[in-house]
Amino acid sequence: VSSSEAEGNDGVFCTSENLNVFDFRIPSGIGLRIPKPGVNGQSLFARGDSVFLGSVSGRLTLKEHSSPTIQHFSLRKGRLVSTYSLPDASYHNEHSSLTQVWGSSDLVMAASGCGLFVFDVLKDEGMQFVHSGFSNVTEVREVIGSDTLYCPSFDYAASR
């Protein structure tokens, strides 16, 4: 997938197994499938070559809390390229849901019931470490909000 083809995709949707890129120029309507192992997608933002998926890993028991992450997929590479991990906390699981994600080459942001989380991609580039053998994991740099927020959202003025 070239950058111009990625920018011109007809949409992206998420299933339990894959990210699917719509391309209505072909009979099946699906131009690309990218596997996404072991996560439940909650929020999706796609622009150009990048797809950002806000997700929570599954719970094993009722006492364990889910772990919210933002996964950055590259359409050109056809795979996961980075993972941004939100801090683990012992808040109620409904507050861990990522209600909105956004990303660019400079910043990655996510809103949840615990606030707005901002990752500075350029500053954190040297601090990334390999996780699960296939992607980088970056820890959150800044959190705006408190534990009392409920389903927040945001509008980033320079997002387009």
Reported as a single tens digit per residue, the pLDDT across 20-29 is 888 888 898 8
pLDDT of 96: 67
Q: Is residue 15 part of a domain?
A: no
Q: Binning pLDDT at 50, 70 and 90, where does residue 53 land?
A: very high
Residue 93: inside a domain, yes or no? yes
**Into how many domains does the chain fold?**
1
* Residue 125 in domain: yes
Nearest Cα to Cα of residue 109 among 99, 38, 135? 99
Percentage of the chain modeled with pLDDT above 70: 59
Concatenated DSSP letters of 49-103: TEEEEEEEEPPSSTTSPP-EEEEEEETTTTEEEEEEEPPP--S-GGGGSEEEEEE
Domain hosting 45: range is: 38-144
Q: Is 52 a domain residue?
A: yes
Biggest CA–CA distance in the chain, Å, is: 48
In a domain, 29, yes or no: no
Q: Is the pLDDT of residue 130 over 50?
A: no
